[in-house]
């Protein structure tokens, strides 16, 4: 749609396409270049200011026909919007239309602004030279071929008025507080003054702000009674589809602040919205029972331990975490756990964590196992031997004496992972024996002695790997007769 430039005389309305032909076609179903814009489901609050519907304001001027059968962003369209608000209607059914029946029962067509005065007179509305808040200020041909209309927002003591309007001075834009003395004033809807509700309480919300719970808006008592609408919000933003008085808290609400806005409307009253205080939504308590797990299996290096979680509620998922001396064992998250060398001398526990979507997880930890021992313990007694890859460990698990596959008998500090003593004898098939004569001897595969403690006759009856890092031969009387002398290494 094309527009002429504004008149050089400041304040003249911008020229606009003739509305009567357009709007008659809209009513009679004729073809139109611009589509009719349906706003039946939209609602805007009444009041002074540029609250012209966004669906009309954001479209190029004269490209759509508004719900009242005027081209968008014209003075007539804005005036029709404001008259509907003043009639208590911000959605269909509308109280003011381009084609309607006047209070005297006659059908009228308002058309372009220049035709509004005659239409109002024909329909039986009061038309005079006295301004009133909400009245239509009207100008005829003196301001252009199509006239102009505006809405009175204030009446001054000198008989002039302030108006708000569209398409005056600049095409398709809003303007307010212009001081005017209009040619005439059309009293279409100004007799209806929108009132404030006597009581429009801030709503509250009943129920627990826990996920999966249903909360209820408590609107309070509106005076006079109003038609109430609800809109639930998450962190201040509308929750799509949440427009009932009740709302079931969802997973997406956890950790967010939820509130409800209650909008009250009634013919002749200003549509009013009040919003409750927002509250944070928390996860639900995990349904019980929450049993303490137990551990089954032998507390020896190489054995497999099994977590016994007990009976948790249906629908609860379980996770496992094994711990050594209270510290998490990396990767040990299965129900079973095979004891490794690092566990020797330590106590193990298992933590079972129960979880369910939308609920707080619950973790329960078992009692500790006995100290994990090596299969051979820390002592080699008379008549016993260490064969290839067998080892003794100190009770605290910090030291290991191993008969290696290469034949070497090596004492290792497991904390530093460094060898601190060795026989340095190498051959396949080597064994180390605690002999009845009190001698500790290494033999090769040919049963030839290649190393010895040389304690025969000293009555040693056992070899002990001690927690201090020393390896000692003791007699039955607990007398040390030989040692590696590796204390603290």
Segment 274-296, tens digit of pLDDT: 999 999 999 999 999 999 999 99
Looking at the DSSP assignment, which residues form a beta bridge with residue 433? 385, 441
Give, as one character, the DSSP assignment of residue 343. Answer: G
| Token pair listed for 31 | 């073809």
What is the CATH architecture of 379-483? Orthogonal Prism (2.90)
Quick one: pLDDT at residue 252? Answer: 94
Mean pLDDT (the chain) is 89
CA distance to 246, 279, 296, per residue, from 207 (Å): 10, 11, 45
Q: How far is CA 379 from CA 21, 30, 342, 373, 473, in A?
A: 112, 107, 19, 12, 10
Per-residue pLDDT at 16? 44
* DSSP string for residues in 114-136: GGHHHHHHHHT-EEES---TTPE
3-state secondary structure 253-317: HECCEEEEEEEEECCCECCEEEECCCEEEECEECCCCCCCCEEECCCECCCEEEEECCCCCCCCE
Q: Are 372 and 344 in contact (CB under 8 A)?
A: yes
Give the per-residue pLDDT at 193. Answer: 57
Quote the CATH superfamily of domain 19-187: endopeptidase domain like (from Nostoc punctiforme) (3.90.1720.10)
Which of these, 488, 438, 489, 437, lies nearest to 463 by C-alpha position? 438
Predicted TM-score (pTM) of this structure: 0.51
Domains 19-187 and 294-365 fall in the same CATH topology? no
Residue 3, pLDDT score: 31
CATH 2.10.109.10 fits 294-365, yes or no: no
pLDDT tens track of the chain, all 489 residues? 223 222 222 233 444 443 433 333 332 222 233 455 555 333 333 346 899 999 999 999 999 999 999 999 999 999 999 999 888 888 999 999 999 999 999 999 999 999 999 999 999 999 999 999 899 999 999 999 999 999 999 999 899 999 999 999 889 999 998 999 999 999 998 755 568 899 999 999 999 999 999 999 999 999 999 999 999 999 999 999 999 999 999 999 999 999 999 999 987 788 899 999 999 999 999 999 999 999 999 999 999 999 999 999 999 999 999 999 999 999 999 999 999 999 999 999 999 999 999 899 999 999 999 999 999 999 999 999 999 999 999 999 999 999 999 999 999 999 999 999 999 999 999 999 999 999 999 999 999 999 999 999 999 999 999 999 999 999 999 999 999 999 999
Break the chain into its structural domains and give their ranges.
19-187, 204-282, 294-365, 379-483
> What tokens does 295 get?
């551990």
d(CA 292, CA 359): 19
E-state strands within 69-121 = 99-101, 107-109
Q: Mind listing the pLDDT tens digit for each residue in 209-232?
A: 999 999 999 999 999 999 999 999
Question: How many beta carbons lie within 10 A of that of residue 214, not counting itself?
Answer: 11
Asked if residues 305 and 295 have their Cβ atoms less than 8 Å apart, the reply is: yes
pLDDT, residue 42, reads: 37
Q: What is the CATH number of domain 204-282?
A: 2.60.40.2700
Q: Residue 483: helix, strand or coil by DSSP?
A: strand
């Amino acid at each position: 749609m094309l527009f002429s430039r504004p008149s050089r005389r400041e304040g003249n309305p911008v020229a606009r396409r003739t509305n009567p032909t357009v709007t008659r076609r809209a009513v009679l179903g004729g073809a139109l270049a611009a589509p009719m814009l349906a706003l039946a489901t939209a609602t805007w609050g009444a009041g002074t200011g540029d609250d012209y519907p966004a669906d009309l304001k954001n479209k190029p001027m004269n490209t759509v026909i508004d719900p009242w059968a005027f081209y968008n962003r014209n003075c007539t369209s804005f005036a029709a919007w404001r008259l509907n608000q003043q009639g208590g209607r911000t959605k269909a059914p509308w109280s003011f239309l381009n084609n309607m029946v006047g209070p005297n029962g006659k059908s009228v067509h308002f058309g372009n602004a220049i035709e509004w005065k005659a239409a109002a007179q024909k329909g039986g509305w009061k038309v005079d030279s006295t301004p009133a808040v909400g009245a239509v200020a009207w100008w005829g041909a003196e301001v252009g071929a199509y006239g102009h209309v505006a809405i009175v927002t204030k009446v001054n003591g000198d008989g002039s008025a302030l108006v708000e309007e569209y398409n005056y001075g600049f095409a398709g834009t809003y303007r307010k507080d212009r001081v005017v003395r209009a040619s005439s004033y059309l009293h279409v809807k100004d007799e209806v003054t929108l009132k404030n509700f006597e009581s429009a309480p801030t709503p509250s919300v009943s129920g627990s702000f826990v996920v999966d719970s249903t909360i209820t808006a408590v609107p309070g008592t509106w005076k006079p009674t109003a038609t109430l609408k609800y809109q639930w919000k998450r962190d201040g933003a509308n929750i799509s589809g949440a427009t009932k008085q009740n709302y079931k808290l969802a997973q997406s609400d956890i950790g967010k602040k939820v509130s409800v806005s209650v909008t009250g409307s009634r013919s002749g009253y200003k549509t009013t919205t009040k919003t409750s205080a927002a509250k944070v939504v928390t996860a639900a308590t995990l349904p019980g029972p929450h049993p303490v797990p137990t551990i089954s299996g032998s507390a020896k290096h190489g054995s497999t331990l099994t977590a016994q979680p007990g009976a948790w509620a249906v629908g609860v998922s379980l996770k496992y975490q094994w711990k050594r001396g209270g510290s998490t064992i990396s990767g040990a998250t299965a129900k079973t756990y095979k004891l490794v060398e690092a566990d020797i001398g330590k106590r193990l526990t298992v933590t079972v964590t129960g979880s369910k979507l939308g609920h707080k997880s619950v973790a329960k930890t078992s009692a500790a196992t006995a100290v994990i021992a090596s299969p051979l313990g820390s002592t080699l007694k008379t008549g016993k031997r260490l064969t290839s890859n067998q080892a003794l460990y100190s009770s605290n698990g910090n030291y290991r004496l191993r008969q290696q596959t290469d034949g070497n008998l090596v004492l290792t500090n497991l904390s530093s992972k460094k060898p601190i003593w060795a026989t340095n004898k190498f051959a396949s098939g080597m064994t180390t024996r605690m002999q009845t004569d009190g001698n500790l001897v290494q033999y090769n595969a040919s049963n030839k002695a290649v190393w010895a403690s040389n304690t025969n006759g000293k009555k040693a009856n056992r070899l002990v790997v001690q927690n201090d890092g020393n390896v000692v031969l003791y007699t039955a009387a607990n007398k040390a007769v030989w040692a590696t002398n590796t204390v603290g290494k």
